[in-house]
Amino acid sequence: MESIFSKHILKFLLISLIISSYTFSTSAVRSVRSAPPKTSTDFIRRSCRATTYPRLCYNSLSIHASKIQTSPQLLAGTALNVTLSSAKTTSTMLLNLSLSHGLKPREAAAMKDCVEELSESVDELRDSIGEMNKFNKGRNYNFKIMINDIQTWVSAALTDENTCSDGFLGHTMNGKLKAVVRSQIVNVAQLTSNALALINKYALIHG
Ligand SMILES: *[C@@H]1O[C@H](CO)[C@@H](O)[C@H](O)[C@H]1NC(C)=O
Ligand SMILES: *[C@@H]1O[C@H](CO)[C@@H](O)[C@H](O)[C@H]1NC(C)=O
């Protein structure tokens, strides 16, 4: 009971920390004020500069340039969708691995924790996408409250992914399995971090 309680407090503190460190990013403020971009790929490249993993950001989003155009809302929405899709694939992969034979009990336990954390992160990303889609429907919404919820859920998703990948840092796993699983989760976490930065940028422009 006590450990579950403190785990939740820790998660909440981490989320607050993540949100505050992203919200006051000065590079996001700077790029809002520069001249308008000419093409969609130009827009995506510039927007991705405000993220922590700009190359991954550009590579994962430029293939959707025709849909994104130069809309910060569509950019953030697409980033969330790309992240969800990657989180779902990774979640299935982990579930497959966790069911495979030949895992030591400690490996199976770490894998099971990770599957749970990733599934929470998938739910949180789904909730954010659902909320994001409401921006197009009707005028009866409070943007600040909704974008705040989205930021909180995406931060929570990132925390869950990091908790999962931290579980693989120890000596629990055999080397090869650990490397495969970690690289997948790290990729999801980097996509999530980028999506959060783009959401924060959108919030800043809109607000
Ligand atoms: C993201 O996915 C949802 C659900 O599939 C879809 O309705 C929405 O249009 C997508 N958003 C973008 C920006 O592509
Ligand atoms: C998980 O296993 C199923 C059934 O064996 C397979 O069809 C699927 O491609 C696997 N998915 C991943 C992401 O490894």
Q: In angstroms, rounded to a whole number, what is the distance separating the alpha carbons of residues 203 and 161?
A: 23
Q: Give pLDDT tens digits for 18-46.
A: 555 554 444 444 445 566 778 999 999 99
- 80: in domain: yes
Cα Rg of the chain (Å, integer)? 18
Ligand 1: which residues within 6 Å by Cβ? 67, 74, 77-78, 81, 129, 133
Q: What is the pLDDT at residue 3? A: 54
Q: What is the pLDDT at residue 2? A: 47
- Which residue has its alpha carbon closest to ligand 2 atom 6? 96
Backbone conformation region of residue 138, classed left if phi is above 0, alpha if psi is from -120 to 50, else beta: left
- 171: in domain: yes
Q: What is the pLDDT at residue 1? A: 44
Q: What is the pLDDT at residue 198? A: 98
Q: Give the list of residues 6+ apart from residue 199 with CB closer than 8 angstroms, or none.
A: 76, 79, 80, 128, 147, 150, 151, 154
- Which residue has its alpha carbon closest to ligand 2 atom 5? 96
Per-residue CA distances from 125 to 54, 75, 175, 190 (Å): 21, 15, 30, 14
Q: How many domains does the chain have?
A: 1
- Which residue has its alpha carbon closest to ligand 1 atom 14? 78
Could you list the beta-strand ranges (E) of 34-150. Answer: none
- 12: in domain: no
- 111: in domain: yes
Q: What is the pLDDT at residue 101? A: 73
Pocket test for ligand 1, best of 133, 135, 137, 154 (most atoms within 8 A of CB): 133
Q: What is the pLDDT at residue 92? A: 93
- What is the 165 CA–ligand 2 centroid distance (Å)? 21
**Domain of 195: which CATH number?**
1.20.140.40
111 in helix, strand or coil? helix
Show the domain range for 202.
35-206
100 lines ligand 2 (CB under 6 A): no
- 25: in domain: no
93 lines ligand 2 (CB under 6 A): yes
Pocket test for ligand 2, best of 85, 91, 92, 180 (most atoms within 8 A of CB): 92
16 lines ligand 2 (CB under 6 A): no
Q: In angstroms, rounded to a whole number, what is the distance separating the alpha carbons of residues 200 and 148?
A: 9
- 17: in domain: no
174 lines ligand 2 (CB under 6 A): no
- 88: in domain: yes
Q: Print pLDDT tens along the chain (207 aa).
A: 445 555 665 566 556 555 555 544 444 444 455 667 789 999 999 999 999 999 999 999 999 999 999 999 999 999 999 999 999 999 999 998 888 778 888 888 888 899 999 999 999 999 999 999 988 776 677 899 999 999 999 999 999 999 998 877 666 667 777 788 889 999 999 999 999 999 999 999 886
- Per the CB < 8 A criterion, the answer to whether 22 and 197 are in contact is yes
- 94: in domain: yes
- Per the CB < 8 A criterion, the answer to whether 75 and 44 are in contact is yes
